[in-house]
Structure 1
């Protein structure tokens, strides 16, 4: 029965025809109307919707990376979470959305929902967030965290909510403390090698805004893999560790403190580790909270040195 219903829904959607026009590399509408029934994929995409008071448009979410921003939890209540990672095509079609908003292009890979063009043929518009759909061209600046959510605000006519959000977050950043420019390594995952953030990543921007120096700033990529010998040579003073479904700080800290090549590096000797939710390293307004978190930790490290 479920399979026949799935096929029936696809046939109905097919009758709507493909998208009439493609506006950009990342946004594919199938009508001129504002989307009413949206499924968001990836936590920062969901948070962007909620920050703009668009919870009434959300009929489902998927792929939370860590804990949602606490202030958004009341808005999230009652919205179905379709999957902890990618939902199946059947789950999405049965929810009957008119729009899918994904944070990462991998949402429309063969391993996830398949190509965007298929969904357009079924009458469902799609958006891959500009932060990761567009090719990276250099080091990010503060204004880049607003690019994607600005597109969403324009799509749903939420410019006033966006302006209030920007004013609030910029005021918070204005209160950051000046700190010693610690040399920082960000680790996304740690095992045989360190998966780290390159100089063109959200984590690099986070580190700079917090007052630190990213030791991989000269690597012109979003993500880089480093050998532990390279980490030893760079001798970071602080190590930030992403917290997500895929990794925990406890596991990374255990590796860092027991690895023979790492026992002598400054961050390990002085136990300067900072756990940062993965979503706070994304190129979105949530990054401002990661900046505040790291800045506070750097202030504490500095005060301890001065005692």
Structure 2
């Protein structure tokens, strides 16, 4: 699925009656009006704002170029907006931009106990909506699900008074996935998949609460770290070798390319007996596809096809 952001930037004024209240992790957040100076952090959260046609309500974004995540499609979508901070923003950056809403998440622009949190920004009347997937860092949650991404789009629709647009998008995403599954040949069983984000001494991967678990399951596979009670975190290579994944999902971003990550696994004798390495079965998703956002739908298709490839 391709996102054509410019076609989504001509929405009319909000029709929803205020005040409105949304659930954000373990908090309820109430808005008396649609934010007019919003800031989003990270590429996937920013794309959620773009696909809902909310650039007129934004003063900028943060946390993208510092990790080399900006692709051609995204660059066109944010052309009219400034990047206020290459990595995580400070309170001063948000205040200097006149921010009246921050869309971020735990480890997506905010850190537990850090300088920028819903509590620290509340003192400056800057409400925060937290990415649902990231709630696992601060509270007990269920396993990651496609519903997490849908919930964020619907919440943003409520906050900005574009609920109809959000509901149409979510309904379209559901229909697309349902149609895709109906067309794909069934699998004899779910292939074992390991998510390789980064790291050589210890791999950074997606556990039970991270979005790739939901994407892999939607495509018919099983994350070998499904029992790892974490979101995005590090594990030991011993656990990966023992799990013997049949496919390695490489997350592509940053200074180390997907090709370099693949070469590291293929050329290291310690991994020679892993089924995915022995059979050279790899699939790559860009960071923006592997984290919650509109490109998750296309990511499921990519994975589903890879799982069924000879």
Same fold by TM (over 0.5)? yes
CA distance in 2, matches of 1:107, 1:200: 18
Partner of 1:15: none
User: Which structure has the greater CA radius of gyration?
Assistant: 1
| Correspondence list, 1:20-99, <5 A | 25-26=26-27, 28=29, 32-64=32-64, 66-67=69-70, 70=73, 74-99=76-101
**Contact kept? 1:243, 1:249, Cα under 8 Å:** yes
Deviation at 1:28, TM superposition (A): 4.7
Aligned residues: CA RMSD:
2.7
Deviation at 1:113, TM superposition (A): 4.3
Deviations 1:225-256 (A, max 9, x none): 33223222222110001112365312321220
Partner of 2:149: 145
Partner of 1:269: 278
Deviation at 1:111, TM superposition (A): 8.7
Deviations 1:39-82 (A, max 9, x none): 11122221111111111111110112624593x65442211111
Partner of 1:178: 185
Deviations 1:155-208 (A, max 9, x none): 111111112212322232121423533211111213112222222321111111
CA distance in 2, matches of 1:183, 1:78: 42
**Contact kept? 1:27, 1:128, Cα under 8 Å:** no
Classify the secondary structure of the residue corresponding to 1:191: coil
How many residues matched?
A: 279
Classify the secondary structure of the residue corresponding to 1:36: coil
Deviations 1:120-146 (A, max 9, x none): 222322222233236343323332321
Structure 1 residues 148 and 246, CA, compared in 2 at 3 Å: closer, same or farther? Answer: farther
More off after superposition, 166-175 vs 57-66: 166-175
1:294 equivalent to 2:303? Answer: yes
Partner of 1:120: 122
Deviation at 1:286, TM superposition (A): 2.9
Partner of 1:130: 132
Classify the secondary structure of the residue corresponding to 1:184: strand
Structure 1 runs not aligned, ≥5 long: 1-20, 303-307
Classify the secondary structure of the residue corresponding to 1:49: helix
Classify the secondary structure of the residue corresponding to 1:79: coil
Partner of 1:167: 171
Structure 2 runs not aligned, ≥5 long: 1-20
Deviation at 1:258, TM superposition (A): 1.9
CA distance in 2, matches of 1:88, 1:198: 29
Q: State TM-score, norm by structure 2.
A: 0.79
Classify the secondary structure of the residue corresponding to 1:175: helix
